């Protein structure tokens, strides 16, 4: 299965991507994780994006296109994948469509985790990470609303959106995600 997991910062995307990856036996590909690793390892990519990342803004679309294209070309992504944190802009959504055409592959669905904003704020404040300072969190939520939220309509118009209520227990959300894909836990 080729899936996108869409949702605001704090919506539980990362957690659910990992759980789904295990259930479906496909890799969870977190662009945020990949970028944080590049920064930690001080690679040329890491050096280039360090500033942008720590401000809560988005890395430019061209760079993201390269990162994702390279990652999806790896052997383990051949049988499917879950994209966590990409696409995040309309340009990236078009970019992904192009990458998939090149792979002669199609998306099976876009799982959209819906969580009220007040809950998001509470959840992110509860996490401890360098890029989780309160002003950075606000910036990340603003960037989400402006640049990523339009993807909900984009995928809806294409008949690919699978909305899931993300404001409940982790296990219940996983069950609902699998159900939306026509699967059951442990199947
Ligand atoms: P995340 O862990 O998904 O919340 O991502 C952490 C940070 O990495 C974001 O705030 C962005 O700066 C950057 N990032 C991750 N994925 C993308 C993307 N698809 N496009 C642009 N920037 C991204």
Give the predicted TM-score (pTM) of the model: 0.94
Q: Any alpha helices (H) in the chain, and if so which ranges?
A: 13-24, 31-40, 44-55, 61-72, 90-102, 117-126, 134-143, 150-157, 170-180
Kindly give the distance from the C-alpha atom of residue 187 to the centroid of ligand 1, in angstroms, as a whole number. 32
76-91 tens-digit pLDDT:
999 999 999 999 999 9
Q: Give the position, in ligand 1's atom list, of the atom nearest the Cα of 57.
A: 12
Q: What's the fold here for domain 2-180? A: Rossmann fold (3.40.50)
126-170 tens-digit pLDDT:
776 655 678 888 888 999 999 999 999 999 999 999 999 999 999
The CA radius of gyration of the chain, in Å to the nearest whole number, is: 16
Kindly give the distance from the C-alpha atom of residue 40 to the centroid of ligand 1, in angstroms, as a whole number. 15
């Amino acid at each position: 299965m080729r899936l996108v997991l869409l949702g605001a910062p704090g919506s539980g995307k990362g957690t659910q991507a990992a759980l789904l990856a295990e259930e479906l036996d496909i890799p969870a590909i977190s662009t945020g994780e990949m970028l944080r690793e590049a920064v930690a390892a001080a690679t040329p990519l890491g050096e280039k994006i360090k500033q942008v990342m720590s401000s809560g803004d988005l890395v430019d679309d061209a760079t993201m296109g390269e990162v994702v294209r390279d990652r999806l070309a790896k052997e383990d992504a051949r049988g499917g994948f879950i994209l966590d944190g990409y696409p995040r802009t309309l340009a990236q959504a078009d970019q992904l469509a192009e990458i998939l055409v090149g792979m002669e592959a199609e998306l099976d669905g876009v799982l959209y985790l819906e969580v009220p904003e007040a809950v998001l704020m509470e959840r992110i404040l509860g996490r401890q990470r360098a890029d989780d300072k309160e002003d950075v969190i606000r910036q990340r939520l603003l960037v989400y609303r402006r640049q990523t939220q339009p993807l909900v309509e984009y995928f809806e118009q294409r008949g690919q959106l699978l909305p899931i209520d993300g404001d409940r227990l982790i296990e219940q959300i996983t069950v609902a995600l699998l159900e939306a894909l026509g699967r059951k836990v442990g199947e």
